[in-house]
Amino acid sequence: MRMRGWRGVVAATVVAASLGSAQPARAGFLEDAGWGTLTVLSNVFYMPAKLVYATLGGVTGGLALGLTGGDMDVADNIWVTSMGGNYVLTPPMLRGEESISIAGTPGITSEPLDSLDNGESVDPSGADLSQRPSFHETDLGS
């Protein structure tokens, strides 16, 4: 009889430890499936619209380049604005956890630049950007 009491105490301790260390419930399968379905349906409409917007921006930027006599700043602003941004929506975007960027932002580079005390910018690799040729000064081999 003494053995039964000991087993009961061990069983009660195991049950109490299991309940005490229970993890909070994670989002269920149906919730994940719902966000996935909403994402696919959203992309059915968003992706073609974004591709049309980017294509029209590409053509418009090319026309602007020709009509301004080769002014790359004008064309680049159109190209970056229309061709930048997100082409695919993700569940975190639809939940509001990440931003949705339909258009790009001109003037923002993907490589961060550090600034010196005298106001000159330097490339993180150490190259002096004031000596780097601009697009118009670069020989394109033509």
pLDDT per residue over 30-58, tens digit each? 888 899 999 999 999 999 999 999 999 99
Q: What is the C-alpha separation between 48 and 71, in angstroms, rounded?
A: 30
Looking at residue 56, its pLDDT comes to 96
Q: Are 114 and 120 in contact (CB under 8 A)?
A: no
| Whether pTM exceeds 0.85 | no
Structure tokens belonging to residue 53: 């917007």
CA atoms lying within 13 Å on the CB side of residue 26? 3
Task: Choose between 3 and 71: higher pLDDT.
Answer: 71
Average pLDDT over every residue of 116-124 = 53
* Chain-centroid distance, C-alpha 65: 29
Q: What is the C-alpha separation between 16 and 66, in angstroms, rounded?
A: 77
Q: Is the pLDDT of residue 112 over 70?
A: no
Give the SS3 label for residue 124. coil
Residue 105's pLDDT band (cuts 50, 70, 90):
confident
Looking at residue 106, its pLDDT comes to 79
Helix (H) or strand (E) holding 114, with range, is strand 114-115
- Render pLDDT for 53-78 as a digit per residue (tens, 0 to 9): 999 999 999 999 999 999 999 999 99
Burial of 90 (0-12, 13-18, 19+ CB in 10 A): middle
Query: Could you give the percent of the chain with pLDDT greater than 90?
Result: 44
Looking at residue 140, its pLDDT comes to 43
- In terms of average pLDDT, the best of 47-51, 97-101, 126-130, 138-142 is 47-51
